[in-house]
A and B are shown apart, each in its own frame.
Chain A
């Protein structure tokens, strides 16, 4: 599903040029759950942004679904992104002024889904995430775990081929964190491809493979046998 090779990314300020990704290469197969680990500044978030088509690379190749996307324009990336990729963030990034239902619906509005279809899909996913009873609440009225469930619902509602999770448990207590991780595992079991960035060894182990990064490079890659 994903094949990156010799991917490069620099950040340049007036005086410095920081290398964020240094010719990194790896593949993610369909149906995999890959955890990416590494200390702060190792480039894992940058990598995730590029995988999520939020950012462009400065060199190398990125093949997504057999398409070379590294030179795609912002518009084309947005097109590809909204139909194929779902995001889960550490800080949930729900919109406070919108209800649970509306937050999830937003993802469908931007893909141009019809209203009746939107309602059905949102209800379906809220049901599946067991948050349906909160559909008319605002994010500030929910607990952290519930907010993340809403965020995951939003990520899922478009049936994305790929789910990218950036520290999805970072703002949660360990019990709620585990619930979210189990949710992701379940999604993976149902066929979703997941790439997750995390600091937590515990969380990383939910995946089938761990890629460890340091200074923009891949250092090790472990295949886990837990599932």
Chain B
């Protein structure tokens, strides 16, 4: 009786944990799948990306003027919008209120193509004038009272321009990647950034809306020669459904976040399988205890069908009770889960379709888990039951053993994958990336400071703790554009190599902490005497033997190569290091100051820098980033994946152990007589414990043997995603084995020792 109660408890606990994991992952996956799909024009929206004529993709970057030309010349295109390729923080003020807000530059059609809830203003022409701004409801409330009072008002932008609020919007769905507080007119950028009019600058994102019923592939076909006219003959325009841009952003490999969605899908399925197996195992083990009940029912006239119905019914009932518990647990962990995954999932506003799925899944689980025990139990022959013959059915035992092996195979795969992922993450986060990202501060240079940089630099260097200061065009980590617009001596005519460009200044190498391979740091900031630093990859790309002193032109600015920097990582280690060119004088403003500080008194140093900033630049808030944490952000999805997979691995093992525990309990009960007899004959507790444990350990070992090659295969595949990766750590498999064996032993010995300690008199008493 006791064992029966324990079995039911383990059953519910196992199913609850299984459903809990499964549903949590299901919620996450359906959320991921619905990101950015809420736009009314969703079906006709496409992201533009470029490929070479051979099909090699150049990413989402496109020429800034492309949008104008597309709209004019392609009738199938109903709307086009250009968008600055990253969200930046900008400073706004209204009276005494000065705040940084993040936003983008978009062209006129933006609010017509993409869905927003418009609170005030007219979406169709909101950004048609250069000094117009569209702001979020939130931003309206920050600077004005509300949306209504904000419309038509002015905001001071970067302490240099006055903008008029033409639109107040609210994001139409939480399930979006659009998180801008404001949008500014894209056209207004051209005046200050003449380089944008150059077709060879691929720094802008372009989105199109096709006319209803237009066939995207035909439009792509038609657009093939489009770029020839603009001296970009080697490039072709491609269209990707806008909704896919979120999950399939890795154009090169056709992957992206979708890989995590698939992986978690598999994890969810496997966990559910483990939980169902538990149920089958425990129920079929427990069935022998119910044999008498079945016998009596059969004698009283119950048919096979009605028995199957009864047991399936019980299983379904059990799975729905587990669903209830699982939902309670989900409601409890969702806040933490949302925080980890950066999501906004809540049980309250799930669509009806999700609930229907949840119910169907639970029903299916009940049927799946209940089917085996139901058919097994109902097939018992009455005569066998009363003769107690069913205990020795070897087929049943076989299936049970196979299921245990399977469960532990999965657990082994989970644990070893988790360990390897953690090793790889550890590797990318701690590898020498070629520049010193610790103790490096990136301070945003707003307009005034750009003008007064020399004063800022010389005063900053007086601050105790500041070692060196330099200014650059961008933070570089994770955000960089590419361009083919590079000319060097001996460049072949058909060479279409792409380079990343940035602007640096005096003390760049010293401050950034990169290593010089040859030559020197930048020492001039003179438009008439432009200096170039290139990295190793660029040197290789240009096939230069001795680059020092060689002429180089980037964006039509002729200069001389003064140094070669040892390759350093400025993007995720999934990618190889891109050819990089650092120029001494800017085609654009210097946006960032890098400050190298020492660790003596970081707080004091930071406070002094901030004080200096507000003295020289009172109209702008102090905005800074630590480069080491910026670097870690490159691995955000990996980091989320690791946290979640750790959590789910632990649960998978726990569920497997629940099942194992139940089986040991059951076996110990079945073998009480034998154990008793062995004790009478003088067997020690250890001998009996190992007798029971031995059988189970064989299954565990088999599971380990089966799991390791599977894990090896998957992890080998996963690691090939990385240009820079660890070697497959063989010790992980040993560690996994040790972990699994220890956990299993602990689980097994608990009940076995109990059985071994029991007084044999009771078990040997005549029945």
Q: Which residues of A contact B (CB under 8 A)?
A: 45, 49, 52, 54-55, 78-79, 81-83, 87, 89-91, 93-97, 106-107, 110-111, 154, 166-167, 170-171
Query: Is B680 an interface residue when CB atoms closer than 8 A count as contact?
Result: yes
Task: Give chain B's interface secondary structure class.
Answer: helix
Cβ contacts under 8 Å, A82 to chain B: 681-682
Contact B678 A110 (CB under 8 A): yes
**With A55-B761, A78-B684 as contacts: A91 and B767 at CB distance below 8 Å:** yes
**With A54-B760, A91-B766, A91-B767 as contacts: A78 and B677 at CB distance below 8 Å:** no
From 408 to 455 in chain B, residues with beta carbon under 8 angstroms from any chain A beta carbon are none
Contact B687 A49 (CB under 8 A): no
Contact A55 B759 (CB under 8 A): yes
Closest 9 CB pairs of A and B: A82-B682, A110-B682, A93-B677, A107-B681, A95-B674, A90-B766, A110-B681, A49-B761, A110-B683
B392, B676, B684, B764: the one contacting A96 at CB < 8 Å is B392
Cβ contacts under 8 Å, A49 to chain B: 761
Contact A110 B761 (CB under 8 A): no
Write out, one digit per residue, whether chain B residues 726-767 have a CB within 8 A of any chain A CB (1) or not (0).
Answer: 000000000000000000000000000000000111001111
Query: Is B673 an interface residue when CB atoms closer than 8 A count as contact?
Result: yes
Cβ contacts under 8 Å, B760 to chain A: 54
Cβ contacts under 8 Å, A91 to chain B: 764, 766-767
B682, B687, B759, B764: the one contacting A89 at CB < 8 Å is B764
From 615 to 660 in chain B, residues with beta carbon under 8 angstroms from any chain A beta carbon are none
Contact B761 A170 (CB under 8 A): no
CB-defined A-B contacts under 8 Å, sample of 7:
A49-B761, A78-B682, A94-B677, A106-B678, A106-B681, A110-B687, A171-B766
Q: Give CA–CA (A84, B764) in the complex, Å.
A: 20
**Closest beta carbon of chain A to B178's beta carbon, Å:** 68
B765's nearest neighbour on chain A, judged by CB, is A45
Cβ contacts under 8 Å, A55 to chain B: 759, 761
Cβ contacts under 8 Å, B687 to chain A: 110
**With A93-B676, A95-B677 as contacts: A167 and B761 at CB distance below 8 Å:** no
Cβ contacts under 8 Å, A154 to chain B: 681
Cβ contacts under 8 Å, B678 to chain A: 95, 106, 110
Most buried by A among B392, B676, B679, B682: B682
B673, B676, B680, B766: the one contacting A81 at CB < 8 Å is B680
Q: Give CA–CA (A81, B681) in the complex, Å.
A: 8
Q: Give CA–CA (A94, B681) in the complex, Å.
A: 12
**Closest beta carbon of chain B to A38's beta carbon, Å:** 16
Q: Give CA–CA (A225, B55) in the complex, Å.
A: 110
**Closest beta carbon of chain B to A138's beta carbon, Å:** 10
B389's nearest neighbour on chain A, judged by CB, is A140
Supplied contacts A81-B680, A96-B674, A106-B678, 5 more A-B pairs, CB within 8 Å: A55-B759, A78-B679, A90-B766, A93-B676, A110-B678
**Closest beta carbon of chain B to A96's beta carbon, Å:** 7
Q: Give CA–CA (A166, B677) in the complex, Å.
A: 14
Q: Give CA–CA (A55, B761) in the complex, Å.
A: 8
Q: Give CA–CA (A97, B766) in the complex, Å.
A: 20
**With A54-B761, A96-B392 as contacts: A87 and B767 at CB distance below 8 Å:** no
A79, A83, A110, A170: the one contacting B766 at CB < 8 Å is A170
Contact B673 A93 (CB under 8 A): yes
Cβ contacts under 8 Å, B764 to chain A: 89, 91, 93
Cβ contacts under 8 Å, A171 to chain B: 766
Cβ contacts under 8 Å, B677 to chain A: 93-95
Cβ contacts under 8 Å, A110 to chain B: 678, 681-683, 687
Q: Give CA–CA (A49, B766) in the complex, Å.
A: 13
Cβ contacts under 8 Å, B676 to chain A: 93
Contact A54 B680 (CB under 8 A): yes
**Closest beta carbon of chain B to A31's beta carbon, Å:** 24
A79's nearest neighbour on chain B, judged by CB, is B682
Write out, one digit per residue, whether chain B residues 678-697 have a CB within 8 A of any chain A CB (1) or not (0).
Answer: 11111110010000000000
Q: Give CA–CA (A162, B549) in the complex, Å.
A: 106
B680's nearest neighbour on chain A, judged by CB, is A87
**Closest beta carbon of chain B to A223's beta carbon, Å:** 29
B391's nearest neighbour on chain A, judged by CB, is A96
Cβ contacts under 8 Å, B767 to chain A: 91
From 271 to 287 in chain B, residues with beta carbon under 8 angstroms from any chain A beta carbon are none
B684's nearest neighbour on chain A, judged by CB, is A78
B673, B680, B682, B761: the one contacting A111 at CB < 8 Å is B682
**Closest beta carbon of chain A to B674's beta carbon, Å:** 5
**Closest beta carbon of chain A to B763's beta carbon, Å:** 9
Cβ contacts under 8 Å, A83 to chain B: 682
Q: Give CA–CA (A78, B683) in the complex, Å.
A: 8
A94's nearest neighbour on chain B, judged by CB, is B677
Q: Give CA–CA (A79, B678) in the complex, Å.
A: 13
**Closest beta carbon of chain B to A164's beta carbon, Å:** 10
Contact A167 B766 (CB under 8 A): yes
Q: Give CA–CA (A66, B11) in the complex, Å.
A: 54
